[in-house]
Amino acid sequence: MRTVFSNLKPFRFAVVVALILMFTELIAELLQPYIIAKIIDDGIRQDRLDVVYMWGGVLLGISIVAFGFGIISSFFAAHVSQSFGFRMREQLYEKVQRFSFTEFGRFSESSLITRLTNDVMQLQNTVFMGLRIMLRAPLLVIGSVVMVFLVDAKLALYFAGAIPILAIFLGWVMKRGERLFRAVQQQLDQVNNVLQQNLIGMRLVRVFVREKHEGDRFSEASKGLMERMVAALILTELTMPVILLVMNASVIAVLWFGRMELDQNGTVTVGEIVAIANYATRTTGVLSLMAMIVVNFSRALASARRVEEVAMTGSVHEDKGDDQLARKVRAGDVEFKEVTFQYPDTEAPVLEGVSFRAEAGKMVAIMGATGAGKSTLLSLIPRLYDIEDGQVMIDGYDAQQLNLNRLRRSIGYVPQEIMLFTGTVADNIRWGKEEATLEEVMDAARLAQIHDTIQSLPQGYDTVVGQKGVNLSGGQKQRLTIARALVRKPVILLLDDCTSALDVHTEAALLAALKERKCTIFLITQKISATRASDSVLLLDDGKLLAVGTHEELVESSGLYRSICESQERKAGMSHA
């Protein structure tokens, strides 16, 4: 809670102004019933029109002040709450950007989205309410109790007696509400999750005719949300009648005993009874409002905990790598020394005692069955994960000692899953190097064998591609992502099985062009045509490096490699026949 609300600190001044204005508005409001009592008792009942005018004028003046201050206070409250939300979202976004992949694994994508949007919005609303009514409501109740005691202490007891009962009740509501709303927010994660998966996998859903299955999954998640929301709303709806019941009983008691006092002892005036009843009805109104605030606050508590979980994650991961050392990475010589790596949530190592050296400027193909650890090996070069056993050396420096951002700037990476951003083709390539000129963008596209295709698009490099590049074929998208990696002129280029959708000729042209680039290239591939074009091949099997060498050497030395070659040649032979 404290971490979350510490974001209000920069707006201290506006918070104080909003609170002062709110207090002034509150005092003006509290004086109104007292003045009405004066008008009745000293003016109307004494036939003193001048007194009525005087107090009437004061009442009018106070109402105008309350109105004006109310508006200005609202303005400050809106400014503070929106700025707080903005700051909170920025802070969380930055935090998530700095998450290690292990930390990323702790939250689902949809949950992070809900936390950064919906949960922050709940907190934002609560800050606004806090500055406008959340403090005002209890103060108004306390102020009313004080005023009622000033008017008539005996009658005040009937009114004030109800307050502790309601305070205990609202405390219970808040505790229970937090639990119920936490469940609501968690279920909202679930709904977003199902929806996100459905939208991303829409093609798959259609082809597999899984609309009904997906529809059922969504309905189930949505129904869960409805049920949890209803449970929370029942609590909300229960709160209001309880408050009204207790407070109306107290108003009746004031009127009943007030009348008895008036008739029997005459120690109380009509104006005083009207004032106390007025304070009691106002308090009832405020308490009904408080019921809403309490529910809102309990929801904000649930959201604050969720937001805090994100804010408190990963604070220890400041990179301490050496920037000067990382600047010296120019050649791209990569060496793995007895590298053993295990994901935090797996029981056995995914890579075990892997050692090899890729000389600067060489092309290294990585081959192996699915799940052998190829992508994992690649991800250790830009330090997406830190290793605990062994060393990854880059140009002779231990990668752990190098400044992370600087190191990553010298690496080009094309992941297995194609990801294009909304924008033009040029924007997508330039994503790899913001300041790249159009000439550099075109050079990268030429190297990636996609320049001619881009030229034939309706607006060439200015053609807009969708978030997933829907208007491009799989192979075109792959080459566009390769161009994006090439535009930054990397020292080391990591290609994670991203030539799979290319035909043999395009792939051969691409690999030949890449070899000209003189950067160290790691290419995950299943194709013998690609391993043949490489300077050396790493054959991985179940996390272990089974064989290293050129294509010819492996044909000689590795039975597994030979059998892969034979099976691919057989297939090629059959398709030619």
Ligand X SMILES: Nc1ncnc2c1ncn2[C@@H]1O[C@H](COP(=O)(O)OP(=O)(O)OP(=O)(O)O)[C@@H](O)[C@H]1O
374 binds ligand X (CB under 6 A): yes
CB of 495 to ligand X, least distance (A): 12
373 binds ligand X (CB under 6 A): yes
Contact 338, 393 (CB under 8 A): no
Q: Which one of 236, 376, 476, 536 is in contact with ligand X (CB under 6 A)?
A: 376
- The contact pattern for ligand X, residues 412-451, with x = CB under 6 A and - = no contact, is ----x-----------------------------------
CB of 549 to ligand X, least distance (A): 19
Q: How far is 179 from 298, CA to CA, in rounded Å?
A: 8
343 binds ligand X (CB under 6 A): yes
- Residue 521: what are its φ and ψ, rounded to 5°? -120, 130
From the number of C-beta atoms within 10 Å of its C-beta (0-12, 13-18, 19+), residue 504 rates as exposed
CB of 368 to ligand X, least distance (A): 6
CB of 515 to ligand X, least distance (A): 23
257 binds ligand X (CB under 6 A): no
Q: Nearer Cβ to ligand X, position 414 or 441?
A: 414
241 binds ligand X (CB under 6 A): no
Question: CA neighbours within 13 Å on the CB side: how many for 331?
Answer: 12
Q: Which one of 345, 347, 417, 516 is in contact with ligand X (CB under 6 A)?
A: 345
CA dihedral (9, 11, 17, 23) in degrees, to 10, reads -50
Q: Which of 436, 411, 431 has its CA nearest to residue 420?
A: 431
375 binds ligand X (CB under 6 A): yes
From the number of C-beta atoms within 10 Å of its C-beta (0-12, 13-18, 19+), residue 469 rates as buried
382 binds ligand X (CB under 6 A): no
38 binds ligand X (CB under 6 A): no
CB of 191 to ligand X, least distance (A): 25
CB of 498 to ligand X, least distance (A): 11
Q: Which one of 10, 241, 371, 474 is in contact with ligand X (CB under 6 A)?
A: 371
**Any idea which residue has 């390769």 for tokens?**
482
> What are the tokens at 287?
């308490």
The residue type found at 288 is S
Q: How far is 153 from 158, CA to CA, in rounded Å?
A: 10
Residue 57 vs residues 25, 35, 39, 79, 557: alpha-carbon distances, Å: 17, 10, 11, 33, 104
CB of 197 to ligand X, least distance (A): 18
315 binds ligand X (CB under 6 A): no
Applying CB under 6 A, the span of 42-50, 215-223, 342-350, 454-462 interacting with ligand X comes to 342-350
Applying CB under 6 A, the span of 75-83, 287-295, 343-351, 393-401 interacting with ligand X comes to 343-351
DSSP string, 64-84: HHHHHHHHHHHHHHHHHHHHH
Binding site for ligand X (CB under 6 A): 343, 345-346, 350, 368, 370-376, 416
